[in-house]
Amino acid sequence: MIQLSKAFLLFAALCRMASAAGPAPPGNYVLTEIATSGPSFWSPPINTSGQVVGWNFLWIPVSANAPVGSLVPFSGGGLGTAIDDRGQIVGASLGPQGMLPFLWTPDTPNASSGTSVAIPAPPGVSSLNMTMSINSYGQVIGSDDSGLSFFWTPSTPNGTTGTLNPDSRFNGVTRINDFGQVTLNPVPRAGNTPTLFTPTADR
């Protein structure tokens, strides 16, 4: 009886461990062609709802993470380089002064319609070859091939107006997380190792 109880407790513990580890990854997949054209050098970003953004398009699944959806153009057009879980898109679009960074915000979270505003990147930043990232607060970072960068924070969460951080140490930014931590690419910073910036005060 004691041995049986020990075996049961061990089995229960193993079940709890398996549950804590999360569900197993799927073994089968469905392939969906979401666009028939676009730049071959670009890997379309995707958010946790399954929305995909690319060259002048936003693909929205019929339900979260469904393999069926619709392709819609987003106002402002251009190349979407990142999309957050709310459906905000950052990228570069062609304007009078060349390729310029933009922020597209859906009318409601994950909606197919929205508005686009320009992000005032510093002079000299080339948006054509830019790595951009956005977090759930709506902070946007961008960096071109030469390492010239910008770090933009909205005035309100997910707002469409904000301010640029002029700190030159952000040159070479690559990604930003929801805490506001920023990683830097060491390539344009010769002799330096990968760098992590962590905020020490409110955004």
* Domain span including residue 107: 81-197
> Is residue 124 very low, low, confident or very high in pLDDT (cuts 50, 70, 90)?
low
Q: Which two tokens stand for residue 11?
A: 């089995």
- Rounded CA gap, 55 and 51, in Å? 14
pLDDT at 11: 53
Mean per-residue pLDDT, 80-103: 84
Residue 18, amino acid: A
- Percentage above 90 pLDDT, the chain: 31
Decide if 170 is inside a domain: yes
Burial track 153-184 (b if 16+ CB lie within 10 A, e otherwise): bbeeebebebeebeeeebbbbbbbeeebebbb
**Does a structural domain hold residue 27?**
no
Is 22 part of a structural domain of the chain? no
What average pLDDT does the segment 117-132 reach? 72
Tokens linked to 106: 């859906």
Model confidence, pTM: 0.77
Q: How many CB atoms are closer than 10 A to CB 65? A: 10
Task: Annotate 141-175 with three-state secondary structure.
Answer: EEECCCCCEEEEEECCCCCCCEEECCCHHHCCEEE
Instruction: Report the number of distinct structural domains present in the chain.
Output: 1
Does residue 158 belong to any structural domain of this protein?
Answer: yes
Confidence grade of residue 165 (pLDDT, cut at 50, 70, 90): confident
Residue 97 in this model has a pLDDT that exceeds 70: no
Question: What average pLDDT does range 13-38 have in this prediction?
Answer: 68
> 4 pLDDT band (50/70/90 cuts)?
very low
